[in-house]
Every structure is written in C-alpha cells, then in structure tokens.
Structure 1
Amino acid sequence: MVKLAAIPSPVLFRGDGRTAYRDPAVLYDRGTFYLYFTLSEVEADGKVYMYTAFAKSKDLIQWTAPKKITVKDQNLDYSSPGNVIRYQNEWVLCLQTYPRPNYTADQMPRYGSKDSRVFIMRSKNLEDWSQPELLQVKGPSVPEAEMGRMIDPYLLEDKDEPGKYWCFYKQNGVSRSYSRDLKKWTFAGTAESGENVCVLTQNNEYLLFNSPPNGISIKTSRDLKTWHDRGTLITLGQEKWDWAQGRLSAGTVLDLTQVAGINKYLLFFHGSGPLTEKEGDFDKNASLGVAWSTDLCTWDWPGK
C-alpha cells in the first residue's frame, strides 16, 4: 500500500563521498515500483565505474538492495536508463553507454566520450536482462562510428499511430527517431531542449520534461515538431536541500493519476550537492528523490 504522506524523506537513495545515484527511470507494475538508475562507485584504488542498477519497493519507503544489471567496464559504463516499455510480451529498457577509459577520482568530473551511444535491453521479469543492443537511430546505413555522441534515451509509443515507437535522445538538443520493430530506425529531426527527457501524452498533447542547467522544465507539442514552454522551472525544495544544492536534474514522471490509492503524478529526480557537478559532485554525493502532483504545476514532497 502506497501512502505518500508516510514517506519520511524526499531522498530515496542517498549518495556519499564514494557513491552517486543518478538518472532514475521508474515502472509501476502490479503493485511494485521498479526503480532503475545510474550507480556510480569510486573504488579504493580511485577508479570510477558506472552501472545501471535497480531496486524494488511496494511503498516507496522500504527498498531492496540495489542490484547491478550491467557489466563493470569503463569502456562502456552503461548508465542513464530512460524508461521501460512493454513490447511483444517482453519488457524493454533503454540506456546509454558513457565511455570513460582510465577514469579516476582525481579527474572528477569527466564526461562520457564521443563514443557514447544508446541501447536497449530486454527482459521477461524486469530483473534479468539481455545483453544490450545498439539502437541505430540514424538509420541502418549510418555506421556506428558516424552516429555521433548521443545519450539519455527515452522510448514512447506514438499517440496517433499504435505500433510506431519513438526514441528521444540528447544530440543537438533532443533528437528523435522512429521505428515499428525497435530494430530499423528512421531519423526524424531535432528540437531545442535540455537533457534527460521524459515524454508523456496527455489530452492529445505530448509533454516533454527536460533538464536545463538546473531544475526541470516542461514543453508541450501536438506533433513532436513545434514545442511550447509550459509553466515555470521546477526546483522543488532545492533551496533548503544541501543534498541538491549543486544541481536538481533528470526528472522522470510516472502518471499514476488513475491508480487507486495514489492518484498522483510521481516525479523522480536526482540532486547533487553540496558542490556543483563541475566542482566534483557528479560521480559522488548524488541522491535520488521523489515528489508528486495532481496537476504538474503544484508539487509536494515528504516534509514540505
């Protein structure tokens, strides 16, 4: 049973000087929350690794221990899960590579190389996942080496054409490609946007949540081509949260407005701090948080 008022803190997973929790992606299935995220760890020898990991909860209070679902390899650093969709009797999770070979804590922060690409993994049970598959979102004729740096994927079925799926990803703002089988993709253009996009449909509109340098903003569109800003920048309780003083970012929204007992939009995000990411709180001191709303305008959170 989910009782939002019973959640003791807006922090679901708290980072520290050797650990960062970032980039949440959340699925609610049959009474269980599946929270996927980037897990960064600084090891004793100073090497820094990124993984995609997940944890489960029935109530957003008690969580299972994080379980890594990707390999330990600085040439890959699978991370930034975007979301999970249901496709042909299986689950599909999108994520990125973020290569940082020979990366150590004294270089912090160091960002993913030009070889960063987007992938999907498949699962029957949301816990055991296949090997990642590269998404050739620029089309089958464009070699991987020529696709350009791309991160932060998000998958969405078209609101007007069932069976047509969009992949959004960070490249020249937000780029988008479409596919009808998640294998052959067609590039369809770009739009101005921040990173870590999450796209919902509401009242025959697309709502695009994205992260500028700080906070979370919303854009709307009917056709994925022309976008309009909606509302004000979302920063929640950042001014009072030392754990998010550096940056509040990577918001993803789960529409549970029709789920009895919840009836809210849930916003998951990460906060880094007390330092900014450029000052070093990127692969450490980043935490996952939660807030909620009935209208996507006014937000509440534990302890507000």
Structure 2
Amino acid sequence: MPIPLIDRGAAEALRDPALVFHAGRCHLFCTTVRPAGHAFSLGIDLLVSDDLRQWSTRTIFAPGPDNWSSPGSIVRAGDAWVMCLQSYPIDPGATWGNESARLWLATSSDLVTWSAPRPISPAGCRVAWTASARQIDPYLIAHAGRWWCLYKAAGQLGLLVSDDLITWSEASPQRPILGTADTPDGSTVENPCVIATDDGFVLFFSPCRPGRGIGVARSTDLLSWHDAHYIDFPDVPWAPGGPTAAMVVDRRREDGDWLMAFHGDRPTAANEHGAAIAFARSRDLEHWTV
C-alpha cells in the first residue's frame, strides 16, 4: 500500500523531515512554516505513527522570534536523546533567515518533551572559506569516539567536531567539506544527512537549483568526500519545485530496505516555503521508489 503524503495545504508548509524509530514507532520531526503578515513563522512539530499512514501530532518548538527549525538528526547520547536544530530569524518583509541564524542542541528523555536549546557555536561560522557567520541545517553524527556536526554556510557544507557535545571546533577551517567545486553543475548545497554503511559514510545533500533533486557523496572519514553526483530520483508531480531535504534511515533488518523521508517544494502565492513530506524506499541507496 502506498504511503500518503503528509500535507497541510497552503496555509502551513511541512519541511526538513528527521526520522527516528523507537519502541516500534516512527517519530518524524519537521519544520512547520506559516505565513505571518509580511514574514514567516517557523516551529518544529513531532508526528508519531505505527504504520507511516496515520499520524498523531504534537508541537515541540512553537513558532516565535527564534524560528526554531530544520531538525537535522536525533541521536542517542548516554541516557538522553539529542536533537540538533537551527534558529532562523527572518527580517520583516524577507523570505529567508538573516545572518544571526545559528546551530543549537536540545535534549529529551522521551522524544516528546525537550529542553530549551543551547547554542553549539554562539559566534557562528569562523572559517577561512567564508566571511559569513550564518550557520544552518545541522546534522549530528557520532564517529571514532567523537561528535561531528555538518552544517551549511554560504551555500557549502562545513563540519564541527566535539568530544562532549559542549565545546566545539571547526574540523575543516580552510575548506568546505562539500561545496560548489564538488557538485556536478556547480550548485550550492544544503540539508546534509549522513548514514553509516559497511564501507564508510554516504552523504545525502540538496542542490540549490531549479527542480532541486537529491545529491549523494561518499567518505570514510567525514572530512573528504568523493563521487558527488545526483541520483536519478523519481518524478514527484505534486511538487513542482522538486524533491529535496532527504533524510535516510536503515530499515533493512525490519523492512528489507532503506527508508527516505523528503519534502517536495510546492510554493504558493500565500507561502513561498510551501511543501509537503513524502517517503521513498531503496535497496541500494541509488535507486528509489516513491
């Protein structure tokens, strides 16, 4: 049976899905975007399902001046869950977040009630490859006894590293780990998602271009990425702006394949951020069925 779209229409866009399976249930965190006068109001909702078809909904981070959004990943650290997310203040009359956008962490014992976010790097991006301090689209992953956080700055991907989830430093201050020089058509990139495989890591990223799409690259150390390319993703006719913001989880043991959640861009006159969430499955991470 096909999995239906998660769609709230033009009034409220659903973007940036992040998936966690726990206790037999799927927990899907996503950005909600509502038009608010001459600006936009962002928050984070949690949707929970037993079958990916019927969902209960709870607001985790309510809309407000910080515009909490883009839950990149939710990982287990000791006896707590940790979510990485962004603040995304939008100036009046603007469509996109300003230079004060930053990366944050929040913790939970049950995936439902979350602490107030605390900043990862309050000063923002401090690297040689951009003068912008703006950081968005975090993705947190554990590797080699350390914590690593991918992020977007100036249309390219950077990488932070920490031993304790408190003190962070730039892991690649001289160059982006993936940028315009690496994509097949020179597109800028966003929305990183990293999964571990038997032979290293696979990075899913979103090119910022008309029609969007899903990009893939590979690495053994999170720092050096190769074979960046766009996968031949199926058409999504309900999303004229194309598929983007892929989040992939390993469900091979339970269901026999990898599961992807993504959002399809469907901007409207009322909401330039218009989008709905859909799912795809794959046996090899390259060929997907929506």
Asked if 1:69 is matched to 2:60, the reply is yes
| Deviation for aligned residue 1:233 | 2.6
CA offsets 1:8-57 (integer angstroms, 9 cap, x no match):
53x1x1142211000000001121000000001235x5653100111100
Structure 2 residues not aligned, in runs of 5+: 180-188
2:191 counterpart residue number: 196
Measured in 1, the distance between the counterparts of 2:3 and 2:18 equals 21
Higher strand share: 2
Whichever residue aligns with residue 265 of structure 1, its letter is W
Deviation at 1:228, TM superposition (A): 1.4
TM-superposed CA distance for 1:293, in Å, is: 0.5
2:19 touches 2:27 (CA, 8 Å); kept in 1? Answer: yes
Alpha carbons 1:20, 1:282 under 8 Å: kept: no
- Is 1:100 matched up with 2:90? yes
Where in structure 1 are there 5+ consecutive unaligned residues?
Answer: 1-5
The answer to whether the aligner puts 1:179 opposite 2:162 as a matched pair is: yes
In structure 1, distance between residues paired with 2:16 and 2:42: 12
CA gap 1:272/1:280 in 2 versus in 1, 3 angstroms: farther
Report if the CA contact (8 A) 1:217-1:234 is conserved. Answer: no
| Secondary structure of 1:129 counterpart | coil
Query: 1:269 touches 1:289 (CA, 8 Å); kept in 2?
Result: yes
Aligned to 1:244: 239
The separation in 2 between residues aligned to 1:166 and 1:56, in whole angstroms, is: 27
Whether the 8 Å contact between 2:132 and 2:153 is mirrored in structure 1 is no
Q: How does 1:47-66 map to 2 (within 5 A)?
A: 48-65=40-57
TM-score, with structure 1 as normaliser: 0.82
TM normalised by structure 2 equals 0.86
Matched, 1:31 2:24: yes
3-state SS of 1:258 partner: helix
Task: Give the fraction of aligned pairs with identical amino acids, expressed as a percent.
Answer: 31
Q: CA deviation at 1:138?
A: 7.2
> Which of 106, 130, 135 pairs up with 1:150?
135
| Kept after mapping to 2: 8 A contact 1:137/1:177 | no
CA shift in 2, pair 1:203/1:8, >3 Å: closer
Measured in 1, the distance between the counterparts of 2:114 and 2:55 equals 20
What letter is aligned with 1:71? A
**What's the secondary structure of 1:125's corresponding residue?**
coil
Aligned length: 271
1:18 aligns with 2:11: yes
